[in-house]
Structure 1
Amino acid sequence: MSEIVVISGSPSAFSRSEQVLKYLGNLLKQEHFSVTHISIKDVPAEEVFQGKFDSPAIHEVTELIQNAKGVIVGSPVYKGAYSGVLKALLDILPQDVLKHTPVLPLMTGGSASHLLAIEYTLKPVLATLKGHNLKGLYLLDRQIDKRKENPIIDEDILQRTKKQLQYFTEIVNRQASTVFLT
Protein backbone atom coordinates (compact mmCIF):
# COMPACT_ATOMS: atom_id res chain seq x y z
CA MET A 1 0.00 0.00 0.00
CA SER A 2 1.29 3.43 -0.93
CA GLU A 3 0.86 6.31 1.43
CA ILE A 4 0.86 8.82 -1.43
CA VAL A 5 -0.29 8.24 -5.01
CA VAL A 6 0.83 10.70 -7.67
CA ILE A 7 -1.27 10.70 -10.85
CA SER A 8 0.06 12.25 -14.03
CA GLY A 9 -2.51 13.14 -16.66
CA SER A 10 0.05 14.11 -19.27
CA PRO A 11 0.05 12.03 -22.45
CA SER A 12 3.47 13.40 -23.44
CA ALA A 13 6.56 11.27 -23.04
CA PHE A 14 8.56 13.96 -21.24
CA SER A 15 6.25 16.68 -19.98
CA ARG A 16 6.79 19.55 -17.57
CA SER A 17 3.87 18.56 -15.38
CA GLU A 18 5.11 14.99 -15.08
CA GLN A 19 8.63 16.15 -14.19
CA VAL A 20 7.22 18.41 -11.47
CA LEU A 21 5.11 15.51 -10.15
CA LYS A 22 8.18 13.26 -10.04
CA TYR A 23 10.06 15.97 -8.17
CA LEU A 24 7.23 16.26 -5.63
CA GLY A 25 7.31 12.48 -5.24
CA ASN A 26 11.04 12.63 -4.52
CA LEU A 27 10.49 15.34 -1.90
CA LEU A 28 7.84 13.15 -0.27
CA LYS A 29 10.22 10.18 -0.24
CA GLN A 30 12.77 12.36 1.56
CA GLU A 31 10.06 12.87 4.21
CA HIS A 32 9.75 9.05 4.50
CA PHE A 33 6.51 8.62 2.59
CA SER A 34 6.08 5.73 0.21
CA VAL A 35 5.07 7.07 -3.19
CA THR A 36 3.54 5.38 -6.21
CA HIS A 37 3.40 7.20 -9.53
CA ILE A 38 0.58 6.45 -11.94
CA SER A 39 0.97 7.91 -15.39
CA ILE A 40 -1.93 7.89 -17.79
CA LYS A 41 0.61 6.53 -20.27
CA ASP A 42 0.97 3.38 -18.14
CA VAL A 43 -2.74 2.56 -18.07
CA PRO A 44 -3.83 0.52 -21.10
CA ALA A 45 -5.48 2.99 -23.49
CA GLU A 46 -8.00 0.43 -24.74
CA GLU A 47 -9.30 -0.14 -21.22
CA VAL A 48 -9.56 3.58 -20.51
CA PHE A 49 -11.23 4.59 -23.76
CA GLN A 50 -13.60 1.64 -23.84
CA GLY A 51 -14.61 2.32 -20.24
CA LYS A 52 -13.54 -1.07 -18.93
CA PHE A 53 -13.94 -0.12 -15.28
CA ASP A 54 -13.81 -3.79 -14.27
CA SER A 55 -10.48 -4.55 -15.96
CA PRO A 56 -7.55 -5.69 -13.79
CA ALA A 57 -5.51 -2.56 -14.64
CA ILE A 58 -8.32 -0.17 -13.68
CA HIS A 59 -9.03 -2.22 -10.57
CA GLU A 60 -5.35 -1.91 -9.58
CA VAL A 61 -5.40 1.88 -10.10
CA THR A 62 -8.62 2.11 -8.10
CA GLU A 63 -7.18 0.07 -5.25
CA LEU A 64 -3.99 2.15 -5.11
CA ILE A 65 -6.00 5.38 -4.93
CA GLN A 66 -8.52 4.08 -2.40
CA ASN A 67 -5.76 2.88 -0.08
CA ALA A 68 -3.67 6.05 -0.34
CA LYS A 69 -3.46 8.49 2.54
CA GLY A 70 -3.04 11.33 0.04
CA VAL A 71 -3.18 11.86 -3.71
CA ILE A 72 -1.52 14.40 -5.99
CA VAL A 73 -3.12 14.83 -9.41
CA GLY A 74 -1.38 16.79 -12.14
CA SER A 75 -1.99 17.72 -15.74
CA PRO A 76 -0.92 20.22 -18.34
CA VAL A 77 -3.59 22.67 -19.48
CA TYR A 78 -5.12 21.72 -22.82
CA LYS A 79 -7.77 24.03 -24.30
CA GLY A 80 -8.48 25.60 -20.91
CA ALA A 81 -8.86 22.32 -18.99
CA TYR A 82 -6.95 19.26 -17.84
CA SER A 83 -6.05 16.57 -20.36
CA GLY A 84 -8.75 14.49 -21.97
CA VAL A 85 -6.91 11.27 -21.17
CA LEU A 86 -6.96 12.16 -17.47
CA LYS A 87 -10.70 12.85 -17.76
CA ALA A 88 -11.21 9.47 -19.43
CA LEU A 89 -9.43 7.72 -16.55
CA LEU A 90 -11.25 9.67 -13.84
CA ASP A 91 -14.58 8.91 -15.53
CA ILE A 92 -14.22 5.16 -15.09
CA LEU A 93 -13.07 5.24 -11.47
CA PRO A 94 -15.67 4.69 -8.72
CA GLN A 95 -17.66 7.80 -7.76
CA ASP A 96 -16.13 7.91 -4.26
CA VAL A 97 -12.59 6.75 -5.10
CA LEU A 98 -11.10 9.78 -3.26
CA LYS A 99 -13.47 9.69 -0.29
CA HIS A 100 -11.93 11.55 2.69
CA THR A 101 -8.57 11.71 0.90
CA PRO A 102 -6.49 14.90 0.83
CA VAL A 103 -5.84 15.79 -2.81
CA LEU A 104 -3.27 18.27 -4.08
CA PRO A 105 -4.19 19.36 -7.62
CA LEU A 106 -1.43 20.64 -9.91
CA MET A 107 -1.54 22.08 -13.40
CA THR A 108 1.04 23.54 -15.74
CA GLY A 109 0.33 25.91 -18.57
CA GLY A 110 1.84 28.27 -21.09
CA SER A 111 0.30 31.44 -19.71
CA ALA A 112 -1.35 32.89 -16.64
CA SER A 113 -4.58 33.21 -18.62
CA HIS A 114 -5.25 29.53 -17.84
CA LEU A 115 -4.71 29.92 -14.11
CA LEU A 116 -8.37 29.34 -13.32
CA ALA A 117 -8.40 26.00 -15.14
CA ILE A 118 -7.41 24.35 -11.88
CA GLU A 119 -10.37 25.97 -10.08
CA TYR A 120 -13.00 25.47 -12.76
CA THR A 121 -12.03 22.14 -14.28
CA LEU A 122 -9.72 19.94 -12.18
CA LYS A 123 -10.86 20.70 -8.65
CA PRO A 124 -14.57 20.17 -9.39
CA VAL A 125 -14.02 16.69 -10.83
CA LEU A 126 -11.80 15.75 -7.86
CA ALA A 127 -14.53 16.99 -5.51
CA THR A 128 -17.08 14.88 -7.41
CA LEU A 129 -14.89 11.88 -6.61
CA LYS A 130 -15.21 12.96 -2.93
CA GLY A 131 -11.62 14.21 -2.58
CA HIS A 132 -10.63 16.83 -0.02
CA ASN A 133 -9.13 19.44 -2.37
CA LEU A 134 -6.27 21.59 -1.20
CA LYS A 135 -5.49 24.99 -2.67
CA GLY A 136 -3.49 23.52 -5.54
CA LEU A 137 -0.57 24.63 -7.66
CA TYR A 138 -0.41 26.24 -11.08
CA LEU A 139 3.00 26.59 -12.69
CA LEU A 140 3.86 28.38 -15.90
CA ASP A 141 5.93 26.53 -18.47
CA ARG A 142 8.65 29.18 -18.23
CA GLN A 143 9.02 28.40 -14.49
CA ILE A 144 9.96 24.81 -15.29
CA ASP A 145 13.08 23.26 -16.82
CA LYS A 146 12.08 19.65 -17.34
CA ARG A 147 15.70 18.57 -17.86
CA LYS A 148 16.72 19.40 -14.28
CA GLU A 149 16.45 17.19 -11.21
CA ASN A 150 14.55 20.03 -9.57
CA PRO A 151 12.52 21.24 -12.54
CA ILE A 152 11.07 24.31 -10.77
CA ILE A 153 13.52 27.08 -11.66
CA ASP A 154 11.58 30.06 -10.28
CA GLU A 155 12.59 30.46 -6.61
CA ASP A 156 9.29 32.04 -5.49
CA ILE A 157 7.27 29.27 -7.15
CA LEU A 158 9.57 26.64 -5.66
CA GLN A 159 8.99 28.02 -2.16
CA ARG A 160 5.21 28.18 -2.73
CA THR A 161 5.28 24.61 -4.04
CA LYS A 162 7.20 23.37 -1.02
CA LYS A 163 4.81 25.21 1.29
CA GLN A 164 1.78 23.58 -0.37
CA LEU A 165 3.50 20.19 -0.20
CA GLN A 166 4.23 20.72 3.50
CA TYR A 167 0.58 21.63 4.12
CA PHE A 168 -0.46 18.51 2.18
CA THR A 169 1.79 16.26 4.30
CA GLU A 170 0.53 17.85 7.52
CA ILE A 171 -3.05 17.05 6.53
CA VAL A 172 -2.11 13.51 5.48
CA ASN A 173 -0.31 12.93 8.80
CA ARG A 174 -3.13 14.47 10.81
CA GLN A 175 -5.72 12.28 9.10
CA ALA A 176 -3.54 9.20 9.51
CA SER A 177 -3.16 9.84 13.25
CA THR A 178 -6.90 10.50 13.60
CA VAL A 179 -7.73 7.22 11.85
CA PHE A 180 -5.14 5.42 13.98
CA LEU A 181 -6.64 6.80 17.21
CA THR A 182 -10.22 5.84 16.36
Structure 2
Amino acid sequence: MTRILLIGGSPLHPCPNHTFLDYAKYLLENQSQFSKIKIDTLLVRNLLAEDLAFGRYSSPALFYPKKLVEDADAIIIGSPIFKSAYTGLLKSFLDLLPIGIFANKVILPLATSQIIAHASALDSSLTPVLIDLGATQILPSVFALDNQLQDAEHSNLEIAIRLQAALQDLLQAIANKGNKPNNLSPLLDKIYAVH
Protein backbone atom coordinates (compact mmCIF):
# COMPACT_ATOMS: atom_id res chain seq x y z
CA MET A 1 0.00 0.00 0.00
CA THR A 2 1.22 3.49 -0.89
CA ARG A 3 1.19 5.88 2.06
CA ILE A 4 0.94 9.62 1.47
CA LEU A 5 1.11 12.12 4.32
CA LEU A 6 -0.26 15.65 4.01
CA ILE A 7 1.37 18.09 6.42
CA GLY A 8 -0.40 21.41 6.97
CA GLY A 9 1.82 24.15 8.35
CA SER A 10 -0.70 26.94 8.81
CA PRO A 11 -1.45 28.21 12.32
CA LEU A 12 -5.02 28.98 11.20
CA HIS A 13 -7.84 26.57 10.36
CA PRO A 14 -9.78 26.88 8.18
CA CYS A 15 -7.49 28.72 5.80
CA PRO A 16 -6.67 28.71 2.07
CA ASN A 17 -3.60 26.51 2.54
CA HIS A 18 -5.55 23.79 4.32
CA THR A 19 -8.19 24.07 1.59
CA PHE A 20 -5.37 23.45 -0.92
CA LEU A 21 -4.27 20.35 1.01
CA ASP A 22 -7.89 19.14 1.19
CA TYR A 23 -8.18 19.63 -2.55
CA ALA A 24 -5.01 17.57 -3.13
CA LYS A 25 -6.46 14.84 -0.92
CA TYR A 26 -9.75 14.95 -2.81
CA LEU A 27 -7.95 14.55 -6.15
CA LEU A 28 -5.78 11.70 -4.83
CA GLU A 29 -8.79 9.85 -3.47
CA ASN A 30 -10.32 9.98 -6.94
CA GLN A 31 -7.33 8.42 -8.73
CA SER A 32 -8.89 5.32 -10.25
CA GLN A 33 -5.54 3.68 -11.11
CA PHE A 34 -4.26 4.09 -7.55
CA SER A 35 -6.90 2.45 -5.39
CA LYS A 36 -4.38 1.32 -2.79
CA ILE A 37 -3.41 4.70 -1.37
CA LYS A 38 -3.60 5.46 2.34
CA ILE A 39 -3.72 9.19 2.97
CA ASP A 40 -3.08 10.70 6.38
CA THR A 41 -3.26 14.37 7.32
CA LEU A 42 -1.17 16.07 9.99
CA LEU A 43 -2.05 19.64 10.91
CA VAL A 44 0.91 21.01 12.84
CA ARG A 45 -1.37 23.47 14.65
CA ASN A 46 -2.91 20.50 16.50
CA LEU A 47 0.39 19.47 18.12
CA LEU A 48 1.26 20.60 21.62
CA ALA A 49 2.42 24.22 21.46
CA GLU A 50 4.84 23.64 24.35
CA ASP A 51 6.61 20.83 22.46
CA LEU A 52 7.06 23.06 19.42
CA ALA A 53 8.02 26.21 21.32
CA PHE A 54 10.51 24.54 23.65
CA GLY A 55 11.94 22.05 21.16
CA ARG A 56 10.96 18.94 23.11
CA TYR A 57 12.45 16.38 20.71
CA SER A 58 11.58 13.39 22.85
CA SER A 59 8.04 14.36 23.81
CA PRO A 60 5.72 11.32 23.80
CA ALA A 61 3.13 13.49 22.00
CA LEU A 62 5.46 13.66 18.98
CA PHE A 63 5.85 9.88 18.63
CA TYR A 64 2.79 9.43 16.41
CA PRO A 65 3.45 12.45 14.14
CA LYS A 66 7.06 11.29 13.64
CA LYS A 67 5.82 7.76 12.90
CA LEU A 68 3.47 9.14 10.24
CA VAL A 69 6.42 10.88 8.58
CA GLU A 70 8.65 7.79 8.82
CA ASP A 71 6.01 5.48 7.31
CA ALA A 72 5.07 7.74 4.39
CA ASP A 73 6.21 7.01 0.84
CA ALA A 74 5.44 10.59 -0.12
CA ILE A 75 4.78 13.83 1.70
CA ILE A 76 2.69 16.76 0.50
CA ILE A 77 3.74 19.67 2.66
CA GLY A 78 1.74 22.87 2.65
CA SER A 79 2.30 26.31 4.05
CA PRO A 80 0.99 29.80 3.56
CA ILE A 81 3.73 32.26 2.69
CA PHE A 82 4.27 35.20 5.02
CA LYS A 83 7.15 37.63 4.48
CA SER A 84 8.56 35.43 1.70
CA ALA A 85 8.89 32.32 3.88
CA TYR A 86 6.88 29.39 5.17
CA THR A 87 5.35 29.61 8.65
CA GLY A 88 7.29 29.56 11.89
CA LEU A 89 4.91 26.87 13.11
CA LEU A 90 6.00 24.54 10.30
CA LYS A 91 9.66 25.44 10.96
CA SER A 92 9.25 24.52 14.63
CA PHE A 93 7.86 21.10 13.66
CA LEU A 94 10.55 20.43 11.07
CA ASP A 95 13.22 21.34 13.64
CA LEU A 96 11.95 18.50 15.85
CA LEU A 97 12.33 15.84 13.15
CA PRO A 98 15.46 13.69 13.03
CA ILE A 99 18.01 14.22 10.27
CA GLY A 100 17.38 11.83 7.38
CA ILE A 101 13.66 11.32 8.06
CA PHE A 102 12.75 12.50 4.53
CA ALA A 103 15.20 10.13 2.82
CA ASN A 104 13.60 7.94 0.13
CA LYS A 105 10.42 9.98 0.13
CA VAL A 106 8.89 11.99 -2.68
CA ILE A 107 8.07 15.51 -1.51
CA LEU A 108 5.51 17.86 -3.07
CA PRO A 109 5.31 21.36 -1.53
CA LEU A 110 2.10 23.40 -1.81
CA ALA A 111 2.17 27.15 -1.15
CA THR A 112 -0.51 29.79 -0.84
CA SER A 113 -0.33 33.54 -0.44
CA GLN A 114 -2.32 36.70 -0.99
CA ILE A 115 0.27 38.05 -3.46
CA ILE A 116 1.74 36.56 -6.64
CA ALA A 117 5.23 37.81 -5.72
CA HIS A 118 5.44 34.86 -3.30
CA ALA A 119 5.05 32.27 -6.07
CA SER A 120 8.60 30.88 -5.75
CA ALA A 121 9.17 31.64 -2.06
CA LEU A 122 8.53 28.08 -0.87
CA ASP A 123 11.11 26.63 -3.24
CA SER A 124 13.81 28.98 -1.98
CA SER A 125 12.97 28.90 1.74
CA LEU A 126 11.77 25.32 2.34
CA THR A 127 13.97 23.30 -0.01
CA PRO A 128 17.22 23.69 1.98
CA VAL A 129 15.47 22.50 5.16
CA LEU A 130 13.99 19.48 3.37
CA ILE A 131 17.45 18.61 2.02
CA ASP A 132 18.86 18.82 5.55
CA LEU A 133 16.21 16.30 6.58
CA GLY A 134 17.37 13.88 3.88
CA ALA A 135 15.05 14.70 0.97
CA THR A 136 16.50 13.93 -2.44
CA GLN A 137 13.35 13.95 -4.54
CA ILE A 138 11.54 17.26 -4.16
CA LEU A 139 9.05 18.07 -6.89
CA PRO A 140 8.52 21.69 -7.96
CA SER A 141 6.06 23.40 -5.63
CA VAL A 142 2.53 24.28 -6.68
CA PHE A 143 1.45 27.81 -5.81
CA ALA A 144 -2.03 29.27 -5.54
CA LEU A 145 -3.34 32.66 -4.61
CA ASP A 146 -5.70 32.57 -1.64
CA ASN A 147 -8.61 33.86 -3.72
CA GLN A 148 -8.20 31.00 -6.24
CA LEU A 149 -9.20 28.41 -3.65
CA GLN A 150 -12.80 27.85 -2.64
CA ASP A 151 -13.22 24.30 -1.33
CA ALA A 152 -12.07 20.76 -1.97
CA GLU A 153 -14.35 20.31 -4.97
CA HIS A 154 -14.72 23.79 -6.48
CA SER A 155 -11.39 25.50 -7.09
CA ASN A 156 -10.07 27.61 -9.92
CA LEU A 157 -9.67 25.55 -13.14
CA GLU A 158 -6.04 26.61 -13.64
CA ILE A 159 -5.19 25.50 -10.08
CA ALA A 160 -7.04 22.22 -10.61
CA ILE A 161 -5.03 21.47 -13.76
CA ARG A 162 -1.67 22.39 -12.21
CA LEU A 163 -2.37 20.46 -9.01
CA GLN A 164 -3.61 17.40 -10.91
CA ALA A 165 -0.43 17.41 -13.03
CA ALA A 166 1.74 17.71 -9.90
CA LEU A 167 -0.10 14.83 -8.24
CA GLN A 168 0.39 12.69 -11.34
CA ASP A 169 4.11 13.48 -11.13
CA LEU A 170 4.04 12.53 -7.46
CA LEU A 171 2.36 9.20 -8.10
CA GLN A 172 4.70 8.46 -11.00
CA ALA A 173 7.72 9.28 -8.82
CA ILE A 174 6.44 6.92 -6.13
CA ALA A 175 6.00 4.18 -8.72
CA ASN A 176 9.52 4.77 -10.07
CA LYS A 177 11.14 5.20 -6.66
CA GLY A 178 12.63 1.72 -6.49
CA ASN A 179 14.08 1.92 -10.01
CA LYS A 180 16.15 5.10 -9.63
CA PRO A 181 17.98 5.40 -6.31
CA ASN A 182 19.20 8.87 -5.36
CA ASN A 183 17.35 10.46 -8.29
CA LEU A 184 17.45 14.20 -7.66
CA SER A 185 14.50 16.26 -8.79
CA PRO A 186 14.94 18.89 -11.49
CA LEU A 187 14.84 21.53 -8.77
CA LEU A 188 17.75 19.93 -6.92
CA ASP A 189 19.66 19.52 -10.18
CA LYS A 190 19.44 23.31 -10.59
CA ILE A 191 20.62 23.94 -7.04
CA TYR A 192 23.65 21.69 -7.36
CA ALA A 193 24.52 22.43 -11.00
CA VAL A 194 28.18 23.23 -11.57
CA HIS A 195 28.62 26.39 -13.61
Paired residues of 1:19 and 1:151 also in contact (CA < 8 A): no
The CA deviation string for residues 112-156 of structure 1, in whole angstroms up to 9 with x for no partner, is 1111211211122112211221011111112112xx332522x12
Paired residues of 1:2 and 1:36 also in contact (CA < 8 A): no
Distance of 1:140 and 1:89 partners within structure 2: 24
Distance of 2:2 and 2:10 partners within structure 1: 21
**TM-score of the two chains, using structure 2 as the length reference:** 0.84
Paired residues of 2:26 and 2:152 also in contact (CA < 8 A): no
Q: Which position in structure 1 is the counterpart of 2:30?
A: 30
Distance of 1:87 and 1:166 partners within structure 2: 27
Q: 1:113 to 1:25 in 2, by over 3 A?
A: same
Q: Which position in structure 2 is the counterpart of 1:83?
A: 87
Residue 150 (structure 1) aligned to one of 145, 150, 153: 153
Paired residues of 1:2 and 1:67 also in contact (CA < 8 A): no
In the alignment, is residue 137 of structure 1 matched against residue 139 of structure 2?
no
Q: Which position in structure 1 is the counterpart of 2:4?
A: 4
Number of residue pairs matched by the alignment: 176
Q: 1:27 to 1:151 in 2, by over 3 A?
A: same
Distance of 1:171 and 1:46 partners within structure 2: 36
Q: Which position in structure 1 is the counterpart of 2:121?
A: 117
| DSSP 3-state at the match of 1:74 | strand
The CA deviation string for residues 98-118 of structure 1, in whole angstroms up to 9 with x for no partner, is 012100011101111111211
Q: 1:91 to 1:11 in 2, by over 3 A?
A: same
Q: 1:77 to 1:151 in 2, by over 3 A?
A: farther
Amino acid at match of 2:66: T
| DSSP 3-state at the match of 2:84 | coil
Residue 167 (structure 2) aligned to one of 139, 160, 165: 165
| DSSP 3-state at the match of 1:34 | strand
The CA deviation string for residues 3-41 of structure 1, in whole angstroms up to 9 with x for no partner, is 000000011020111011012112222232110000012
Distance of 1:103 and 1:51 partners within structure 2: 24
| DSSP 3-state at the match of 1:37 | strand
RMSD: 1.8
The runs of at least 4 aligned residues of structure 1 exceeding 4 Å deviation read 176-179
Q: How far apart are 1:45 and its partner, in Å?
A: 1.0
Structure 2: tracts of 5 or more residues without a match: 182-195
